[in-house]
Chain A
C-alpha cells in the first residue's frame, strides 16, 4: 500500500492494489498479450514437469523455429520464462514467482 492511495478519497479499500503492484502486473500482461505467447505458456504449463523444448513447441504449434525462439527470448528477458540447459537440450519453464499469475490468465 503506498502513501498516495492511502490518502485517496473514495470507497473503502481503495488501496488493495498499490501503484507499484499495478504497474508490475501491467508490464507482465503487456508482454504476454499475444495469442502465440499465451499458447506457448499454455503448452509449457501443461507439459509433463511443466517444461518444454523449442522443438516440442515448434511441432505443437506448427510455427517456424525462429518465431518460437524469438517469443521465448522476449519472455525470458521479461522474467516470465526461464531457460535451463540440460546436456545438449534447453528446457523452458515458467518462472515460479510468475506461475500463479500466468496460470490465472490461462483459465
Chain B
C-alpha cells in the first residue's frame, strides 16, 4: 500500500468509536502493552475486542507482541502521531476530552482502587493508595503539563508496585535492568529504547532520573524515531528505592552517587556525554556510543 493509501486505510479503520476508545485504553494502560483480555475487562466481549485489535494491527496502528491468548498490543508511532490526540483527548478544540486538574483527586482514587484490586492478594489497599499519592506528588513537582498527570501516575505507580511486589517476594530477576541518569530525558531513555529493541521480552527494562526533566529531550526523541527506536510512550520518572531493589542490574550514567546501593545488585557506571542541548550530530554520536554499550551488556546478561 502506498503511504497515502495506507493513511486513508488507517483513517477508515479508526473511524469507529469502539476502536478510538480501545486506542485510548492502550495508550494509557499502566503496562504500556495490554492483552485483549485486559481491554475487554471482566465479562467483556473478548471476540469483538480481538477483531478490532486485528483490524488495527493490519493497518499499522498497533504492533502485536507474542501470539494467541498471550498476545499484547502496543501503539505504533503512526497511531500516536495521527490518532493519539483524538484518543487521549489532547484538548486541541472546544469540547475535546481533557481532564481538568480539579478532577485529579477523583481519578487518583480510581487508579488506587484499580491497582488495589490488582494487588489484593499481596499488598494492603493503604500501601497502594500511599504509592499512588506519592507517585502523583513526585511527578506533579516537575510537571510542565498537568493534563497527563493522572495517566502518567497510573503507569508510574503500577511500575513501582510491580517492583515492590517482586522485592517483597524476595525475587530479584538478575536480568532486569534499570538505567539511571540525571534527567531521565536522554541517556537512560536511549539505553532503554535500544535494550528493548535488542532483548524484547527477555529482559525487563526500567528507567529513572535523579532529577527528572518534564519531558524526553525532543532531539533525542527525533534521533530515536529515525532509527525506528521509539520512546514515544515513555516519560521521565523520579528514582525511587523499590525500582532499584527490583532490578538485578543497575546502570548509572552521570549520577552514580544519587543511586541507593543495595546488596546483590550489579552496579555498572557508564561515562556517557549528556545529549541535553546538543546538536543532532552529537546526539547521533551519543546514541551510537550507548548502543554499543547496550550490546555489550546484553552479551553479558543474556548470553
Inter-chain contacts of A73 with B (CB < 8 A): none
Within 8 A of B (CB), among A69-107: 97-101, 104-105, 107
- CA A28 – CA B29 in complex, angstroms? 25
Report B's interface with A, CB cutoff 8 A: 4-5, 7-8, 11-12, 14-18, 20-21, 24-25, 28-30, 34, 38-39, 41-42, 44, 81-90, 92-97, 99, 103, 107, 110-111, 114-115, 150-151, 154
The residue on A at minimum CB distance from B9 is A33
Contact for A29 among B12, B39, B44, B114, CB less than 8 A = B12
User: Is A16 a contact of B89 with CB atoms below 8 Å?
Assistant: yes
Contact for B83 among A9, A34, A100, A104, CB less than 8 A = A104
Report A21-33 CB contacts with B as 1/0, cut-off 8 Å. Answer: 1111111011011
Inter-chain contacts of A104 with B (CB < 8 A): 81-86
User: Is A26 a contact of B93 with CB atoms below 8 Å?
Assistant: no
The residue on A at minimum CB distance from B13 is A33
User: Is B24 a contact of A17 with CB atoms below 8 Å?
Assistant: yes
Inter-chain contacts of B94 with A (CB < 8 A): 97
User: Is B107 a contact of A12 with CB atoms below 8 Å?
Assistant: yes
A34 touching B8 in the complex, CB below 8 Å, given contacts A11-B38, A23-B17: yes
User: Is B30 a contact of A12 with CB atoms below 8 Å?
Assistant: yes
B156 to chain A, nearest CB (A): 12
- 3 A-B pairs with the lowest CB-CB distances in the bound complex, closest first: A100-B92, A33-B12, A22-B17
- CA A21 – CA B16 in complex, angstroms? 11
Can you list 6 A-B pairs with a CB-CB distance of less than 8 A?
A: A1-B103, A10-B42, A12-B111, A14-B25, A100-B90, A100-B93
